[in-house]
Every structure is written in structure tokens, then in C-alpha cells.
Structure 1
Amino acid sequence: MWFSRKSLQVPTADEALPGRDTPIAVPARHHVLAAPLDGPFPEGSAFAQFAMGCFWGAERKFWQLPGVISTAVGYAGGHTPNPTYEEVCTGLTGHTEVVRVVYDPMRVSYAQLLKTFWENHDPTQGMRQGNDQGTQYRSLIGCYDEGQQAAADASRDAYQGALESAGYGTITTEIVPAPTFYFAESYHQQYLHTHPNGYCGLGGTHVSCPIGVGA
């Protein structure tokens, strides 16, 4: 990923790059799970959206969970439609790097996804994650319904207490209704599977998130 210093302020809609009408082309199938990348998905499937720094390592954390049907990396939370990676890296789209997770809620709970999210990055770092700095690395949970919103809020409050006990500061994670998800380029999809020795900027706090797996 890119390490240059960028603006740490999300641009307004008027300041953002214009983007394009045409979506980024992606492979039909997941390189690891062999599921569709963009559907159709089995009846009863649910969606989740997480941003936790560099999306290469974040995606791998979720595709490794039993019960996850498919994952894809992309951009969300900004203004520019169908942005390119290079545009996102300028900080002028407003997007952060996200993982969209498609899962079977009968096999993996949303609480398990939240636990994976919180424990595998530092959600107190604002517009960066480790050495990766910029608005595209900010922490975010995109919620697809009121149940997810309530669960995400409760998990944040629980984790805040655990982090404070361990000497960490205030969680900066945005918890919002799921913003529009724009697929990233094909070479980013399941990057750490196609590039096993590739860069992974994830680094958790080593603080356990005290939410019940079945909650």
C-alpha cells in the first residue's frame, strides 16, 4: 500500500473527484471460496461491511471464518462513484478501504464478525492504521439493518471499556448505515491469496473484545 502523507480530512461532495458511471470489473468467482463475488448468493445470506486499514489483510481475516460465503474488497464512505485505487489514494474521494462480507447467519453470527473486526486492528487511530496514513485507512462499520446497528454500537461500548483498561484511547470507528460499496480492481480481490507474501498492515491491540460469540 502507499505510505505518502495525505490529507487527514474527508473531502466534501463538492471537493471530491467526479468518478465515473461504469463499475470496476471484477472476477466472477472468489479465488478462495469459489463463490460468486457479486451474487447471486444463497437465500438467507446476510451482508456486513468493515473497514479496518489495508483491505488486503482485512479480507483474509473474514474469508477464513467458517460460515462466510464470499468476501470482496472495495471502497465506501465517500462521494466519488466507482473510484479507482489511484483516486482513493489521493484522499480526494472520501472513501475508506472496506471488506464486504457475505455470510450465513445460521453458521456464523454477526457478533463473531464484530469480534474479528475489533480484535484485528487498532480502532483508536483515527485516519490511519499503523504505517498506513490517510482517510482511506479509517475504521468503519457499515450496518445493513437496525439489528446490526444496535449490535455494532453495543460491541463498541463494550470494547471501549476493555481498551481503556489496557491504556488505549477513544475508539474512532464510524458506525453508519452501510454506504454504497464500490468494488476495487480485480488485482486487489483476495490479494493475499494470489500474493501469499504480500503486504499486510493489520496489527491488533491484543485486547480481547468482550462480546459473546452467540450474542
Structure 2
Amino acid sequence: MSFMTMLSNKFSLVDRAAALPGRETAIMTPGRHALTGVPIDLVPGEGQEEVLLGLGCFWGAERLFWQLPGVAVTAVGYAGGPTPNPTYNEVCTGRTGHTEVVRVVFDTNAISREDLLRAFWEGHDPTQGMRQGNDTGTQYRSAIYYTTDQMKQAAEATAAAYTQALRAAGHARAITTEIRPMEAFYFAEEPHQQYLAKNPGGYCGLGGTGVACPAPAPAG
């Protein structure tokens, strides 16, 4: 593989026809959350909702969300690309099309979609495209993969509000966050789950813009 091809794989989404084939069998059997003991494949119950959030390296991103009140469980994994059941090393090649995401199941009566998304927007720089800080490649792109129309509306509204806040603060680049329906989600390998709970001094690449996300404008 040439150097230029390697660069292309890192910064351009792979064509479906050129994606790695993956495998039929899952690489990870979901266990329990290292801090709470809740199954990380918890099926959302009454009043709960699931969303996948990509904001750079998923180690630090997961910690951001498990600390929020109203979050029932978090887990890390891969989404957004065509390769089924990828490994971490495969995702790192850029040839799966996946980005690193945090699966968040939350109680909509305890935390609003907008407040959850404010943590998302403020927790990273959503204008960087295929990177977050020193972490470069398509696996670090910003993404919101929603499961309900209400979350879609909240994502679009908070994105618009944050766009205005960034412009007012002098940020010239546009938000590049993918906002689209959740398709497949693949759990990452066990060592990645709740990584910073198991390794308190481990790497955390989160870094926001320093700009607060305001409440979105009322609909209508």
C-alpha cells in the first residue's frame, strides 16, 4: 500500500466495495459495566432511550457520559461504517468506515436530550472533520446516530444553536458532525470498555472549543 493510499484511508471514508469484510461472529460478548454492574447491552426500557455519540477517542468520551445524572449505562464500540463485527485494529486502518462511539442509554425523565447533547457538543471540537486534536483519521469523526425522531430534532436544534455560538466566538469552521439514524453498533473489545475506570491515569484525548452550547431556539 502506498503512502498516499494510507493517507486517503485515514482522512477519507472508505467506499463500501473497498471496505474490510469483517466477520459474522461478534468479537465481544457484552458484560457488565465496570462501575455500576449494569449490563452494557441493556435494552432501553420505559422512559429510556439509546443514542450513539462519536467525539474522538472513546476512552475519555465514555467517562464524560457515565458521569452524567440520568445515564443508565454506557459502552464503547464502532458504528457508521459497512464492516460487520470489526476489531479495533481494523477500525484503525480506516478501511471499515466506522467511527469510535459511546453507546448511551439514558432516562429521558432524568436528563433531557438537549442537556445530554450539550455535554456532547462542549466535550469536543465538532469542526475538525476526520480528527480530534492529535487523534487523526476517520475513526475520530464527530457523529450522532439517533434512534428516535425526538433525538433527531434535538440534535439538529442543538447543532444550529452551537453553530451560532461558535460563530459569535469567532470560530470560522463549520460543524462537520454526522447526524443520521443509528444502524449497526458493534461493541468494542473488553479492555476498551470503561477504560478510564480501569486505568485512571490512562489517555484521555477530549478537548472542547471552550464555547458553551446554548439552549436551542424554540420550535416554530
Q: TM-score range by the shorter chain?
A: over 0.9
3-state SS, counterpart of residue 215 of structure 2: coil
Shift, 1:24, TM fit:
2.1
Identify which of 164, 167, 172 aligns with 1:164: 167
List gaps (5 residues or longer) in structure 2: 1-5
TM-score (ref. length: structure 2) = 0.91
Shift, 1:43, TM fit:
3.2
Distance 1:54 1:25 in 2: 19
- Residue equivalent to 2:3: none
Distance 1:44 1:26 in 2: 26
- Residue equivalent to 2:145: 142
3-state SS, counterpart of residue 59 of structure 2: helix
- Does the alignment pair 1:113 with 2:113? no
Identify which of 49, 53, 57 aligns with 1:54: 57
CA 1:17/1:113 → structure 2, altered by over 3 Å: closer, same or farther?
Answer: same
Kept in 2: contact 1:33–1:69 (CA 8 A): no
Shift, 1:12, TM fit:
1.1
Q: What are the superposed Cα offsets for residues 100-142 of structure 1, whole Å, 9 maximum, x if unpaired?
A: 1011111111111100000010000000000000000000001
- Residue equivalent to 2:36: 33
Shift, 1:179, TM fit:
2.5
Greater helix percent: which structure? 2
Distance 2:14 2:43 in 1: 34
What is the aligned-residue RMSD (CA, Å)? 1.6
Distance 1:34 1:7 in 2: 36
3-state SS, counterpart of residue 149 of structure 1: helix
- Residue equivalent to 2:84: 81
**How much identity, in percent, do the aligned residues show?**
58
- Does the alignment pair 1:185 with 2:189? yes
Count of aligned residue pairs for this structure pair = 210
3-state SS, counterpart of residue 97 of structure 1: strand
- Does the alignment pair 1:66 with 2:69? yes
Letter in 1 for 2:73: S
- Residue equivalent to 1:200: 204
